[in-house]
Structure formats: structure tokens, C-alpha cells
Amino acid sequence: MRAFLVASIAAMALCPLAVSGQTAPQRTAGAPARSSVPRASDGKPDLTGVWQGGSTQRGTWDEANGGVGVGGTGRNPSAPVALSTNDRPSGREAAPYQPWAAEKVLEAFNRRGIDDPTTFCLPAGLPRTAILGLFPQQIIQTPAQIVILYEYMSMFRVIPLDAKHPDDLIPSYMGNSVGHWEGNTLVVDVIGFNDKTWLAGTGTFHSDALHITERYTRVDKDQIDYEVVMDDPNVLTKPWTLRSTMMLREGTRLEEYVCAENNLDPDRHEKLLKEGVDFRRQ
């Protein structure tokens, strides 16, 4: 049973996905045909739709998640297999933090994420909001701009195309985004962040010098390949690259998410700390 569980975990966490290194997807002999990429009226790939970040499963939301429960295998409810946006996936390279900053990240990990800014219902920032799978995101594309609506924390991004960043930016949780097309890939440049979010993993803090470059490539009807490069010379030794996928969820609609409605967690965390309850990893 244990071996089965381990195998299930491995299968969930380590599914090899071959993609072309070229911009346009290529077919190889024997490979299944991919559905065509929908095109907008201007000929660009049309990213419009409701998507689930961080998923590799095709189908409706229920088909991809309903049987197993979001984040679980569905085979054993106690199997601790879920990856969250606070987890480092197996096989992924370590985040290239400067030594002093890595110590800070490790301390947050050992505190089991109790310091997560989202505990206070603050926005999760980028790229975390883009790669999470618990809530859908909706992309609305026009020739002049892309709009992304995120159910989680009810956030939005308006991404003008072929535009420059304003020179009077106010530091913000989601930053200021501008985009342009490079062939079939939407490239989004994001600056103007505050320093109050985590990037992708427990404690992965950053400074207000954070500069993010995202690349969205719709490789077929169902899938967008998402690549993000994070650069922050104040805390990282080099740019940090992550890759993920977003899957089309036809029939899914975004729901309201009012985090402050019944947020009990800050008080509970304060109580844990005050009472000296042992929750640390070590």
C-alpha cells in the first residue's frame, strides 16, 4: 500500500512533459495530433478563456479536479501529496537566493508558512497568483490590451500591448504590466511591485526592485505554456526561472471571493505563537 502511495505521489509530482524548444509546437512521428490554436481577429493566438493555473489535466474543472479533490490523489485522503504555491515541486531547481536571504526563506519554511502574507487576506502577488490551481483565472484579449481576472483575492491585471510602463508608478502587489507579441508568444513585462508578497514558495520574499518577465504560449486549444523569469538583484544571485502550464476550463465561471468575510487565521496564529504551541519543523 505504501509503495502504491509513493508511486502515486511520484506520478502526480513528476510527470514528464515534452515541449518543443521552438516557438511553434512541432509534431513528431507517432505523437498525437494537437488541436489547433484558436486565433483572434488580428491573427494572434487567442488566449481568451477561463484557465486553471499549474495544472496538466485536460477537461472541464470537474473532470480535472472533481474526482480527486483539488490538490489530492483521491486514492487516499490522508496522502500528503498536495503541492501548494508554497511548495517547491520535485525536480525543480533551488531558488537562487543570496546566502543571507536564503536563511530567511529557510526560517519561513521551518515555521511552516505561518508568516504567509495571504493569511491577512493580502493579494498573493506574482507569479504566485498566476500559477495557483485552486481558483480559476480568466483572460480577455483584445488587439490593444490583455485583461486577466483572478478569482483569488478578486485581483485583476490590465496589460496594455506595445506600451511603456508609466514613470510614476505606485508600488503595488501585482505590479504594472505591459505586453507585446513575439511570434506566437505573449511576453509581459512587470515592474512596480511592493515588497509584501511571496514569489513561489514558502518565504520566497523579494524587494521592490523585483522585475518579472512572463511568457504565455498557447500550444493548443487546451494548454498555455507559462514561463516566468524573476529578477531581483537585492535578494537573488541571478534571475530565477519557473515553468508551468495553464489548462482551459470550458464552462467554468469565476466566483466572488471576499477573503475578509470570515478570516479567523491571524488571531489563531497569534494564539499559537502566544501559547508556545510547537508547530516548527525543527
Partner 1 sequence: MRVVVLWCLATPLSAHHSFGAEYDGNRPITLTGVLTKIEWTNPHSHFYLDVTDAKGNIVNWKFEGYPPGVLYRTGWKKDMTMKPGDSITVFGWRARDGGNWAHSREITLRGGGKMFFGPPAGTGDGGTTPAVEVR
List the one residue from 1, 2, 3, 22 that touches partner 1 (CB under 8 A): 22
Which stretch, 36-44, 183-191, 210-218, 254-262, contacts partner 1 (CB under 8 A)?
254-262
Counting other chains too, the contacts that 267-276 makes at CB distance below 8 Å and 24 or more residues apart are: 269/114, 269/119, 272/114, 273/114
Each residue 63-102 as x (binds partner 1 by CB under 8 A) or -, in order, gives -xxx--xxxx-x--xxxxxxxxxxxxxxxx-xx-x----x
Q: Which of 167, 168, 261, 267 binds partner 1 (CB under 8 A)?
A: 261
**Of the candidate residues 45, 47, 51, 61, the single one contacting partner 1 (CB under 8 A):** 61
Q: Which of 146, 148, 131 is nearest to 242 (CA)?
A: 131
Single residue of 201, 228, 232, 248 touching partner 1 by CB under 8 A: 201
Question: Whole-angstrom Cα distance, residue 162 to residue 171?
Answer: 22
Contact between 34 and partner 1 (CB under 8 A)? no
How far apart CA 199 and CA 125 sit, in angstroms, is 7
Residue 40 is a binding residue for partner 1 (CB under 8 A): no
Which segment (36-44, 114-122, 169-177, 208-216) binds partner 1 by CB under 8 A? 114-122
CB-based contacts of 257, cutoff 8 Å, min separation 6: 135, 151, 152, 153, 154
- Among residues 144, 166, 250, 271, the one that binds partner 1 under rule CB under 8 A: 271
Which lies closer to partner 1 via its Cβ, residue 150 or residue 193?
A: 150
From the number of C-beta atoms within 10 Å of its C-beta (0-12, 13-18, 19+), residue 239 rates as: middle
Stretch that binds partner 1, among 117-125, 156-164, 179-187, 208-216 (CB under 8 A): 117-125
Burial of 167: CB neighbours in 10 Å, binned 0-12, 13-18, 19+? exposed
Q: Build a one-symbol-per-residue string for 146-175: x at contacts with partner 1 by CB under 8 A, - elsewhere.
A: -----xx-----------------------
30 binds partner 1 (CB under 8 A): no
Nearest to 9 by CA among 117, 81, 110, 109: 81
